[in-house]
Every structure is written in structure tokens, then in C-alpha cells.
């Protein structure tokens, strides 16, 4: 079975500050890891994903994440927060016999001016 | 890029009626589609996995007779909420898998269902 834990249901940072959203996973098979962003009443937009290869993954809007197998983590970072980054962020995992995508509980990111 | 269209984006229905939500892959063939339910300020809960030409696989605790899923073609999956009740009010999102091994998924824009 696979699962995802997102630490911190709410994160608030100042505009221009570093954004760090934490994600830890559990998987009995090599995981595929994803970060999605969701704006109110909308679907999900893929920020980035890790499948194989380079462990540091760069995504859209200046976000990046690093796959650390030893720590079973896939934290999302952005060097400088922008007001438009305010949204809900979901970490997800897939892999194994089925290709189901399992989500974490989400982190609501607020940006303070 | 891969686009999934979900319709309607919002619907209000009376208690006891049925509502159908459509999910279409516009520019690719989706052998597998997924249906999620999202409660306010919560995560996405996988309801079922839909494979073209076969019966859907429901997650534990999801009533298959209430949430009817049909995947009649490689580009269309539908979710019908039968005999809807206020507790079925939620945000429903579909997703299409771009491959069989979990490399990529594309999501619809979601449907806000309100049962009155």
C-alpha cells in the first residue's frame, strides 16, 4: 500500500520568502511522486513529478522538489514566494501494480504582503 | 498537451434525482480514468478506477449502486450519482491516466454538486 503525509495543513510565508512544503511518502515499490496545485473550485494542475533519474526535479512557476529515498521525502520549495502562489498544494504518489494516484491531505499556502 | 474536459462545472439538483457527470479526454485516448471526491478543505478521495470496456473498480466504502461509473469509450467516462441526497453534495473531479504505469495524469476542472 502507498500513502502520503503532508506536514502542516496551513503554511504562511511573506512575499519574497522561501516556500517549503513538506511531503513524506510510504511505498513498497519505487514511487512516482507528484506535486499538484489547486485554486478554489478548480481542478488540479501539475507542478512537477519524479519518476526516475535525477532526484532534483524542476517544475513550473519556479517550484522544485527533491526526491530523497533515505528520508522518504519529496519536499516542495520555491526560493521567493509570490502572491499568486497562494493556493492548496497536494503531494501524491503512484506506482506498483496499479496506477492509482494517492493524495496527501493538502497544504494551504498563504502569502503575506 | 493532454486535456480533460469535465462537464458540468456545477449542478444543483433536488434530493432523490440522479445527476450525470461527464469526463472526456480531448486529445488522447484514456484507457484508465479515475473519479475523486473532495469535501470542503479536504483532500481528494479516490472513489473508483474506470477502465474502458470493463466494470469500474470501486474503493472500499464507496457505494457502487449509488455512484455508477461507465467508461464506454476511450475518451469518455461518466459518473452518475443516483438518488442523490444532501450528503452527496461535494466536489467531484475526474482524472485520466496518460499511461498504464503511473507516469502522468491529467485532471478535469471538477464538478460542484449541490443537492437540495
Segment A53-82, tens digit of pLDDT: 899 999 999 999 999 999 999 999 999 999
A111, A112, A109, A113: which is closest to A11 by C-alpha?
A: A109
Q: Is the pLDDT of residue A89 over 80?
A: yes
For B55-113, write each residue's pLDDT tens digit: 899 999 999 999 999 988 889 999 999 999 999 999 999 999 877 666 678 899 999 99
Asked if A36 is an interface residue toward chain B (Cβ–Cβ < 8 A), one would say yes
What is the rounded distance in angstroms from the CA atom of residue A99 to the CA atom of residue B53? 18
Query: Closest by alpha carbon to B62, among B73, B50, B51, B54?
Result: B50
A9-45 exposure pattern, b = at least 16 Cβ within 10 A, e = fewer: eebebeeeeebebbbbbebeeebbbbbbbbeeebbbe
CA A111, B4, B9, B15 torsion-angle sign: negative
pLDDT value for A97: 66
Q: Do B34 and A46 touch (CB under 8 A)?
A: no
For B97, nearest residue in chain A (alpha carbons):
A99
From B2, B103, B96, B106, select the one nearest A51 (Cα to Cα).
B103
B46/A43 Cβ within 8 A: no
The shortest CB-CB distance from A99 to any of B32, B43, B106 is to B32
Classify A71 as helix, strand or coil.
Answer: helix
Bond before B8 cis per omega within 30 degrees: yes
Q: What is the DSSP letter of A78?
A: E
CA atoms within 13 A on the CB side of A9: 4
B91 vs A41: which has the higher pLDDT: B91
Residues of chain B contacting A47 with CB distance shorter than 8 Å: none
Amino acid at each position: 500500500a502507498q500513502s502520503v503525509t503532508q506536514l502542516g495543513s496551513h503554511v504562511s510565508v511573506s512575499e519574497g520568502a522561501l516556500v517549503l512544503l513538506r511531503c513524506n511518502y510510504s511505498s513498497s515499490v519505487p514511487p512516482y511522486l507528484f506535486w499538484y496545485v489547486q485554486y478554489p473550485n478548480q481542478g488540479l494542475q501539475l507542478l512537477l513529478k519524479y519518476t526516475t533519474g535525477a532526484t532534483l526535479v524542476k517544475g513550473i512557476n519556479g517550484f522544485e522538489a527533491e526526491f530523497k529515498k533515505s528520508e522518504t521525502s519529496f519536499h516542495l520549495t520555491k526560493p521567493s514566494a509570490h502572491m499568486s502562489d497562494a493556493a492548496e498544494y497536494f503531494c501524491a504518489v503512484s506506482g506498483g501494480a496499479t496506477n492509482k494516484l494517492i493524495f496527501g491531505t493538502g497544504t494551504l499556502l498563504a502569502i503575506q504582503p | 498537451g493532454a486535456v480533460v474536459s469535465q462537464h458540468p462545472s456545477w449542478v444543483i439538483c433536488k434530493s432523490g434525482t440522479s445527476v450525470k457527470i461527464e469526463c472526456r479526454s480531448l486529445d488522447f485516448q484514456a484507457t484508465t480514468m479515475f473519479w475523486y471526491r473532495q469535501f470542503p478543505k479536504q483532500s481528494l478521495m479516490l472513489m473508483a478506477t474506470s477502465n474502458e470496456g470493463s466494470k469500474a473498480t470501486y474503493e472500499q466504502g464507496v457505494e457502487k449502486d449509488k455512484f455508477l461509473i461507465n467508461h464506454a469509450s476511450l475518451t469518455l467516462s461518466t459518473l452518475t450519482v443516483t438518488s442523490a441526497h444532501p450528503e452527496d453534495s461535494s466536489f467531484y473531479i475526474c482524472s485520466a491516466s496518460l499511461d498504464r504505469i503511473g507516469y502522468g495524469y491529467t485532471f478535469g476542472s471538477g464538478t460542484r454538486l449541490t443537492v437540495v
